[in-house]
Chain A
Amino acid sequence: MLAEQILNGIVLGSMYALVALGYTLVFGVLDKLNFAHGETFMLGGFVAVAASALGAPIWLAFPCAIVLCGALGLLVEWVSFRKFQSADAQITAALSSLAVGLIVIDLVQKSFGSEPVSLELPLAVRTATVNIAGTELAWIKIAILAVALTLMAALHALVQYTRVGRNIRAVAESPLSAALLGVNVRQVNQQTFVIASALAGMAGLMLALRTGYAASDIGFTFGIKALAIMAIGGMGDLRGAMAGGILVGVIEALAVQYGLGKLGEVVVWIVMILVLLIRPAGLFQSSTRQRA
């Protein structure tokens, strides 16, 4: 029972981590917060709703979420961040992205209503179990965890070992130095938004598969929690977002296990305040940030 709650926590935490990674990637590169990110995550859930309503196979929802949420990320970059590049435009960019997010919520509520929408999943998807080390575990949890961990590993490899990642790390440190080396800073910004938004979309999609419904206000609850997780891990730090996400997921699950119920929801905020009091830069020293 305890082991299963910990697994639940890790599965939930990996969703937190995927969303927090997007916040932290954009913050690392632009030094600005993207407040439409939680809504990009939310949109991923409604891709799952649309796919199930149309009777499309579930796997098809994944590429759709990547394309749709990635496109939303590009739009946000263009509308809210391209024009507000200077360091003193932080608030303008943040407010503008918040506005885009609110418009997305409005559009989703116009299409799907404001109440949470259930997913019609094949029964087999909901109930199939897999036996690991003598414990019956829900197949869907294991699958989600596997996909989430694969995405995180892929992101790490992309950032560390590819040209795109090298450019992202260079722009994160100094857009000017990167430009003088020939790096197309605008393109790197776009790539960063697409990657961050696609990850959020996948997380939203998988959370909907896990819980069986999608809610249009989840950006304000789950999405804002991921923002706190970014701060816990260290603003702009990829490892911090991954570790922080899973940490908070497990702590929440244990809080539920030990009868704290709804109070478990506030754990993340208490953890954030404690971590920031002790280590203002977050648990991890910033690896992609810190401008020259």
Chain B
Amino acid sequence: MTERNWLLEVDRLEVAYGPIRALRGCSLRVAAGETVVVVGANGAGKTTLLRAISNVLPHTAGEVRFANRSTRGVRTDLLTRQGLLHVPEGRGVIARLTVEDNLRLAYDRQTPAEPFAGACARVFVRFPRLQERLAQSAGSLSGGEQQMLALARALINPPPMLLVDEPSLGLSPAMVREVFRVLREFKANGVTLLLVEQNVRQALGIADRAYVLRHGEIVNESSGAALLADPDMLGYYLGSRAA
């Protein structure tokens, strides 16, 4: 591959939970503007990988570089403010705060380019439900609405790079389509995406490239379309369920 403008570089990353090695020298790269998907069976280390990238978890070896700078020792909130936004598994909304407060927290992340009302208006065009529920606590929202709110944090103040962990988990098929529609929009607007998904077909459908993670190691790298077109490969790596 020719030299590209890598926004995120993960180099032989190792993470251990006690004696268990959750990531074993995991390496991947994401170029600016690219959408990269990591697929893998349950327990392959997908969530661990994203958590290690955003420094929620410490890594024992290896290195992560974001925008050509090592993230070693950089606190999660600082990485977030520098434009590496991680939407965690389980959505990470603040349940006891109102939808509006959740949006404001996300809005305050970076020096905003527009007033709060204007940024909200943009969010509400995409997620009219959030406008209706503005004064409700985030915990009272349905799972799908909470995922909308989680993605709205990226929409209200678009970051250069978005890490998204299992956004379709536990959602209805209609809501899953909605989530992927939003992710496609981020992609169209030039946001660099690193997506971890169990919903392999949908995820590979929007991927420029894909990695297969197995037992904490990257075992395959190819274009999303190529991986999608190779059911044997998918079945081998992910178990027959995904193929």
Note all chain B residues with C-beta closer than 8 A to A176: 56, 76, 88, 92
CB-nearest residue of chain A to B93: A177
Q: Is the interface of A mostly helix, strand, loop or mixed?
A: helix
Whole-angstrom CA separation of A215 from B176 in the bound complex: 64
B185 within 8 A of A: no
Among B56, B80, B96, contact of A182 (Cβ-Cβ < 8 Å) = B80
Per the 8 Å Cβ criterion, residues 50-86 of B in contact with A are: 54, 56, 75-78, 80-81, 85-86
Q: Does B108 belong to the interface (CB within 8 Å)?
A: yes
User: Which of chain A's residues has its CB closest to B90's CB?
Assistant: A292
The size of the chain A interface, using a CB distance under 8 A, is 22
Q: Given A166-B97, A170-B97, A174-B94: A183 and B105 within 8 A (CB)?
A: yes
Q: Say yes or no: A180-B109 contact (C-beta < 8 A), given A173-B96, A173-B97.
A: no
Per-residue A-contact encoding for B81-121, CB less than 8 Å = 1, 0 else: 10001111000111111000110111011100000000000
Asked whether, in the complex, the Cβ of B105 is within 8 Å of the Cβ of A167, the reply is: yes
Closest residue of chain B to A167 (Cβ to Cβ) is B105
B: interface residue count bin: 20 to 34
* CB of B214 within 8 Å of the partner chain: no
**Which residues on the A side are within 8 Å of B78 (C-beta)?**
184
A287-B105 Cα distance, complex, nearest whole Å: 18
Give the residues in chain B near A180, CB-CB below 8 Å.
54, 56, 76-77, 80, 85-88, 92
Contact B94 A179 (CB under 8 A): no
User: With A and B bound together, what is the CA distance between A182 and B111 in angstroms?
Assistant: 12
Q: Which residues of A contact B (CB under 8 A)?
A: 163, 166-167, 169-170, 173-174, 176-186, 287-288, 290, 292
Q: Which 8 A-B pairs have the closest CB atoms?
A: A182-B109, A182-B80, A177-B92, A179-B76, A179-B77, A181-B105, A182-B81, A170-B94
Which residues of chain B have a CB within 8 Å of any CB of chain A?
A: 54, 56, 75-78, 80-81, 85-88, 92-97, 101-102, 104-106, 108-110, 153
- List 9 extra interface pairs beyond A170-B97, A173-B96, A180-B56, CB under 8 A: A163-B108, A166-B104, A169-B96, A176-B88, A177-B94, A179-B76, A182-B109, A185-B75, A185-B77
